[in-house]
């Protein structure tokens, strides 16, 4: 008879829409935030930190709408340690089925110097703001920012103050990714043992990846007694990013023998949401990324392939289907019908309405005519992006490039601007440079190119290339993305899409408008 092991539940707190979105250039549109929040909710995330409501009107609207639409997840908003922030946060999350206020203040010597508060003044601020938050909401999380570089005695003092003021979750952030696993576990363990009332609240861990130890530090904190992990999809976040949700969830699932903890995450949805976050943020997943990277389940060496053929467990500690990877990849072609496409997309995690399917099917047929073989990644690229909007002021009509070793490249671009057709021919240092110069000749602008990135969707000379372009103008950032079997065409459309988004943002900009970023995707 086998003994049943009771596993402690670890709450998953996802901050992709807040801390993840703070990664430079990763800001999402309102619609994209709602979509990602819906996917997180469906996947079983316990708490979604939907944004920073006082940061902008756009953030407030997104948090408020997510709060109203959430079905299972607790919806959390972030607030600094002042009453105005907390009131605005509560106004945004109050309509959630399960709302939470998350308030924070930097407690390390370096961070105390920013508001110029001494220890006693900061302690008083913490008591006042946590008390105020608890009077509004019975679910309050408090964080001492840069906790891992805060003096031990003072950290104990302020944690006790927050607990007595009514905080129900105490989050211990490693804000700059400074700590190591042993320290991470010891810090949580010592706080629980030393602080009065610590056994009555949930301790959480929030780790950054500056030294590449975010996942290890988060798991160590759980061993030390933390029962909430703050993380993001794909490890998205400031600087080197945050703890990756998919890594801690699968680590707990695969190594339950030594880490007897469980989460409520439906892991078969991991690959789908990873791809969507990569698409809407414009931050591709590195090929060798754990769990969701393109090579995570790829085997090339002869020894590995031989072992896989005999027994997959030889070189795989988890099954691809456990994270949502399809067992088969090459199944679609130009003779595939609409029903087959719908079924395949469902396997990949996409449930499309009739109108969406009709649009994707048309573009799928166009792609299949250009490619002999259409892979899963091609389909994901198709469905993850929208076609050009008829309302866009700028439209690419045609592009012809001449390049080689004999001289500068030349691009002849035909575009439609506000309904009128224009043609320009420009030379440049390569076909992309010439094309971008032609765009600027037809539509003069002061936008600065921050990022130009090309990624092959699949292997082969007929592979689609996904091009991401990030532009900045007057403090506004816009991301455009396009996929095409012709890399230069994809580049032109991505550049023009980013310009269109800048124009939309410029038209809408006014007092209180969120100017940070809007993004748009296109596949053709």
Rg (CA), the chain: 25
Say if residue 512's pLDDT is above 60. no
- 111 marked as part of a ligand binding site: no
User: What is the number of other CB atoms lying within 10 angstroms of the CB of residue 64?
Assistant: 21
| β-strand pairing of 394-402 with 409-417 | antiparallel
Q: What does the pLDDT look like over 147-162, one tens digit per residue?
A: 999 999 999 999 999 9
Say if residue 307's pLDDT is above 50. no
Say if residue 519's pLDDT is above 70. no
- For the ranges 1-5, 297-301, 382-386, the maximum mean pLDDT occurs at 382-386
pLDDT value, residue 103:
98
Q: Looking at per-residue confidence, does 492 or 390 come out higher?
A: 492
pLDDT value, residue 28:
81
Say if residue 403's pLDDT is above 60. yes
Say if residue 13's pLDDT is above 60. yes
CB distance 136 to 168 below 8 Å: no
- CA-to-CA separations, 340 to 102, 353, 360, 376, 523, in angstroms, rounded: 46, 15, 13, 13, 20
Mean pLDDT (the chain, rounded): 87
List phi, psi (to 5°) of 221. -60, -40
Check whether domain 394-523 has CATH 3.40.640.10, yes or no: no
Domain ranges of the chain: 8-281, 302-383, 394-523
pLDDT value, residue 299:
43
Which of the four pLDDT bands, split at 50, 70 and 90, describes residue 76?
A: very high
**8-281 with 394-523: one CATH topology?**
no
Who's near 255: CB < 8 A, 6+ residues apart? Answer: none
Cα–Cα distance measured from residue 159 to residue 196, given in angstroms and rounded to the nearest whole number: 9
Who's near 509: CB < 8 A, 6+ residues apart? Answer: 476, 515
Helix, coil or strand: residue 163? helix
Mean pLDDT of 232-260: 96
CB distance 46 to 13 below 8 Å: yes
The H-or-E segment that residue 198 falls in is: none
Say if residue 271's pLDDT is above 50. yes
Q: Looking at per-residue confidence, does 308 or 267 come out higher?
A: 267
What angle in degrees, to the nearest 10, is found between the helix axes of 431-442 and 487-508?
Answer: 30
pLDDT value, residue 461:
76
- CA-to-CA separations, 334 to 364, 369, 485, in angstroms, rounded: 8, 6, 15
The H-or-E segment that residue 395 falls in is: strand 394-402
Three-state secondary structure along 175-197?
Answer: CCCCCCHHHHHHHHHHHHHHCCC
- 102 marked as part of a ligand binding site: no
For the 8-281 domain, the top CATH level (class) is: alpha beta
Q: Looking at per-residue confidence, does 231 or 461 come out higher?
A: 231
Mean pLDDT of 370-382: 77
pLDDT value, residue 312:
53
Who's near 293: CB < 8 A, 6+ residues apart? Answer: 285, 286, 287
pLDDT value, residue 5:
47
List phi, psi (to 5°) of 291. 75, -55
Which of the four pLDDT bands, split at 50, 70 and 90, describes residue 511?
A: very low
Query: Could you tell me how far CA 38 lies from the centroid of its own chain?
Result: 13
Residue indicated by tokens 């023009």: 496
Mean pLDDT of 492-498: 93
- Which range has the worst mean pLDDT, 129-133, 236-240, 245-249, 383-387? 383-387
Say if residue 514's pLDDT is above 50. no
User: What is the number of other CB atoms lying within 10 angstroms of the CB of residue 406?
Assistant: 6
Mean pLDDT of 464-482: 85
Say if residue 303's pLDDT is above 80. no
- Which range has the worst mean pLDDT, 122-126, 363-367, 417-421, 515-519? 515-519
Nearest in space to 75 (alpha carbons), one of 133, 135, 17: 17
Who's near 290: CB < 8 A, 6+ residues apart? Answer: 215, 244, 246, 247, 250, 296
Helices vs. strands in the chain: H and E counts, helices first = 16, 17
pTM: 0.80
Check whether domain 302-383 has CATH 1.10.238, yes or no: yes
The H-or-E segment that residue 109 falls in is: helix 109-112
- 135 marked as part of a ligand binding site: no
- For the ranges 403-407, 444-448, 456-460, the maximum mean pLDDT occurs at 444-448
- 355 marked as part of a ligand binding site: no
Cα–Cα distance measured from residue 132 to residue 453, given in angstroms and rounded to the nearest whole number: 46
Q: What percent of the chain has pLDDT over 70?
A: 89
- Which range has the worst mean pLDDT, 53-57, 70-74, 87-91, 208-212? 53-57
- CA 36-39-45 angle, to 5 degrees, is 105
Q: What does the pLDDT look like over 377-397, one tens digit per residue?
A: 788 777 766 566 667 899 999
Nearest in space to 227 (alpha carbons), one of 163, 172, 181: 172
Cα–Cα distance measured from residue 150 to residue 113, given in angstroms and rounded to the nearest whole number: 12
């Amino acid at each position: 008879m086998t003994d049943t092991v009771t596993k402690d539940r670890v709450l998953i707190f996802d901050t992709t829409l807040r801390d993840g979105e703070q990664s430079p250039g990763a800001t999402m549109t309102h619609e994209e935030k709602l979509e990602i929040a819906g996917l997180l909710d469906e996947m079983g995330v316990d708490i979604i930190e939907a944004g920073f409501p006082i940061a902008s009107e756009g953030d407030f609207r997104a948090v408020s709408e997510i709060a109203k639409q959430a079905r299972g997840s607790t919806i959390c908003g972030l607030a600094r340690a002042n009453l105005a922030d907390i009131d605005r946060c509560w106004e945004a999350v109050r309509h959630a089925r399960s709302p939470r206020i998350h308030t924070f203040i930097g407690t390390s010597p370096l961070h105390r110097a920013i508001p110029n508060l001494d220890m006693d003044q900061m302690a008083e601020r913490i008591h006042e703001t946590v008390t105020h938050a608890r009077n509004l909401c019975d679910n309050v999380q408090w964080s001492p920012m840069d906790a891992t570089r805060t003096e031990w005695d003072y950290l104990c003092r302020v944690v006790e103050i927050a607990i007595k003021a009514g905080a129900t979750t105490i989050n211990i952030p490693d804000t700059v990714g400074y700590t190591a696993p042993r320290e991470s576990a010891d810090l949580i363990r010592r706080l629980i043992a030393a602080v009065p009332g610590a056994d009555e609240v949930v301790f959480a861990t929030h780790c950054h990846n500056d030294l590449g130890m975010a996942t290890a530090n988060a798991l160590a904190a759980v061993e030390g007694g933390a029962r909430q992990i703050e993380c993001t999809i794909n490890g998205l976040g400031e600087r080197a990013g945050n703890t990756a949700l998919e890594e801690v969830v699968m680590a707990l699932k695969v190594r339950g023998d030594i880490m007897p903890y469980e989460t409520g995450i439906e892991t078969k949805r991991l690959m789908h949401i990873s791809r969507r976050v990569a698409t809407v943020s414009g931050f591709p997943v590195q090929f060798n990324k754990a769990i969701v990277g393109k090579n995570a389940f790829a085997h090339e060496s002869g020894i590995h392939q031989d072992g896989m053929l005999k027994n997959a467990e030889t070189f795989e500690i988890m099954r691809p289907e456990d994270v949502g990877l399809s067992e088969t990849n090459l199944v679609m072609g130009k003779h595939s019908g609409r029903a087959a496409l719908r079924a395949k997309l469902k396997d990949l995690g996409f449930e499309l309405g009739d109108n969406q399917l009709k649009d994707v099917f048309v573009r799928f047929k166009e792609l299949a005519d250009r490619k002999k073989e259409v892979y899963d990644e091609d389909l994901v690229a198709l469905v993850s992006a929208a076609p050009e909007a008829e309302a866009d002021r700028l439209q690419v009509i045609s592009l012809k490039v001449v390049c080689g070793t004999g001289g500068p490249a030349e691009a002849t671009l035909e575009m439609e601007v506000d309904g009128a057709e224009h043609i320009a021919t420009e030379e440049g240092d390569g076909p992309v440079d010439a094309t971008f110069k032609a765009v600027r000749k037809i539509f003069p602008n002061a936008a600065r190119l921050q990022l130009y990135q090309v990624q092959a969707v699949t292997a082969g000379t007929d592979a689609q290339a996904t091009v991401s372009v990030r532009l900045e103008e007057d403090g506004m950032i816009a991301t455009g993305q396009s996929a095409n079997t012709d890399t230069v065409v994809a580049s032109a459309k991505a550049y023009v899409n980013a310009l269109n988004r800048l124009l939309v943002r410029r038209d809408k900009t006014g007092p209180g408008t969120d100017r940070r970023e809007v993004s748009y995707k296109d596949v053709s």
